Amino acid sequence: MTAAGKHQVSRAQTRGNRQGRAGIRDVAAAAGVSITTVSDALNGKGRLPDATRQHVREVADRLGYRPSAAARTLRTGKSGLIGLTVTTYGNEPFTFTEFAYFAEMARAATSAALDRGYALVILPATSRHDVWSNVALDGTVVIDPSDQDPVVSELVRQGLPVVSDGRPAGSLPVTAWVDNDHEAAVLGILDHLAAAGARRIGLLTGTTTDTYTRLSTTAYLRWCRRIGQDPVYEEYPAHDPCAGAVAADRLLARPDRPDAVYGLFDPNGTDLLAAARRYGLRVPEDLLLVCCSESTVYATTEPPITTLSLKPRRIGTAVVQLLIDAIESVETTGPIEQVIPTELIVRTSSQRRPPRRTVSPPRPSGQG
């Protein structure tokens, strides 16, 4: 035994604490130093000689010591946890409507958070206190918050920073937001279709009132008014995949059938393609097609379909950066409102003169 005896006596010497797991006191005792020294050594604080630091680290390692996250959180007021919430449609607690979009966005957000030492907690958009208040959050990311979102209000009232994916409707007091310029995106697509020869462009849109749907639809209507085209659109509840197929069918069954369609939601491309086949319409010869999607399947459909990407990875990353900057009160480099450009991936379905499509010979396999 070293000089351990001179330090404060605790349970640690009598008995291990929590179920045999070593606590900071056990480490201190075993290393023959005080708990402060242990804390400082392990956290790289204080001005300890490297020898001490090293020694403490070794002892901690040997004992398999892991600091208690709960205690640290209580003491410092920071948990390193960020909430992630998705607006729900209907009764399902989690309707990740735009599947690929959400998955990509969440993936990027998770990575970005991790890089800065934070982890993401998935939470429901309902304000069930018993869940939200049971987890210590440093801040929250809200995807597509509804107008007057109760969750957001509550969080803000608690003094927590909130950053939203999608510009907040009304006067929702978010700390910052990131979004695309949906109106510009729609106008761009309509122009693209018109340039490809479309005379009457239809829209497949949603019945929900979220900002994305609303902005996109009004942009479409405005474009129609400007161009002098009668709007041709069908609405359906975006969270219901079957309804999408039906709506696509309805759109192409109309007497004023459009010769080009833009679909706002991910599955619209395949649904419209299927509907077009049913009516014997060739794409792109009889019908031009574009849809908003992050899915890669549209690269290999017959024909490949032009898609609009909302760049979910960039959005997820940006949202998290803004939030953590707010949490840590770092000067955010950019503006508090960030607009991420969209990307139109042009494929055969929206080009009147499709690229040469011949049966290509088997390519020399690069790998085997």
By CB under 8 A, which span of 122-130, 166-174, 175-183, 214-222 interacts with a second copy? 122-130
Query: Letter for the amino acid at 103?
Result: A
Spacing of C-alpha 237 from chain mean position = 21
By CB under 8 A, which span of 109-117, 161-169, 181-189, 328-336 interacts with a second copy? 109-117
Q: How far apart are CA 136 and CA 134, in angstroms?
A: 7
**Which residue number, 46 or 341, has a Cβ lying nearer to DNA?**
46
Q: From the CB of 336, what's the least distance to a second copy, in Å?
A: 22
Q: From the CB of 81, what's the least distance to a second copy, in Å?
A: 6
Q: From the CB of 37, what's the least distance to DNA, in Å?
A: 4
The reply on whether position 200 binds a second copy by CB under 8 A is no
Q: From the CB of 307, what's the least distance to a second copy, in Å?
A: 13
Site for a second copy in 11-30 (CB under 8 A): 18-21
Residues in the chain: 368
**Which residue number, 75 or 157, has a Cβ lying nearer to DNA?**
75
Identify what 37 binds: a second copy, DNA, none; CB under 5 to 8 Å per kind.
DNA
The reply on whether position 119 binds a second copy by CB under 8 A is yes
Identify what 255 binds: a second copy, DNA, none; CB under 5 to 8 Å per kind.
none
83: closest CA among 147, 151, 167?
A: 151
For residue 226 the two structure tokens come to 């400007």
The reply on whether position 366 binds a second copy by CB under 8 A is yes
- The site for DNA (CB under 7 A) is made up of 3, 6-8, 11, 17-18, 23-25, 32-37, 39-40, 42-43, 45-49, 52, 65-68, 70-72, 74-76
169: closest CA among 142, 191, 132?
A: 142
Site for a second copy in 289-308 (CB under 8 A): 295-297, 300-302
The site map against a second copy for 59-78 (x = CB under 8 A) is -----x-xxxxxxxxx--x-
Q: How far apart are CA 192 and CA 249, in angstroms?
A: 23
**Which residue number, 49 or 117, has a Cβ lying nearer to DNA?**
49
Per-residue burial over 289-305, b if 16 or more Cβ lie within 10 Å, else e, is bbbbbbbeebeebebbb
For residue 235 the two structure tokens come to 């609405």
**Which residue number, 83 or 166, has a Cβ lying nearer to a second copy?**
83
Cα angle: 27, vertex 30, 32; to 5 degrees: 105
First and final C-alpha spacing in the chain: 64
Site for a second copy in 239-278 (CB under 8 A): 241, 243, 245-246, 249-250, 253, 267, 270-271, 273-274, 277-278
How do beta strands 306-309 and 343-345 pair?
Answer: antiparallel
Answer yes or no: are the C-beta atoms of 94 and 124 closer than 8 Å.
yes
Answer yes or no: are the C-beta atoms of 33 and 6 closer than 8 Å.
no
The reply on whether position 110 binds a second copy by CB under 8 A is yes
DSSP secondary structure letters along 123-168: E-SS--HHHHTTS--SEEEEESPPTT-HHHHHHHHTT--EEEESPP
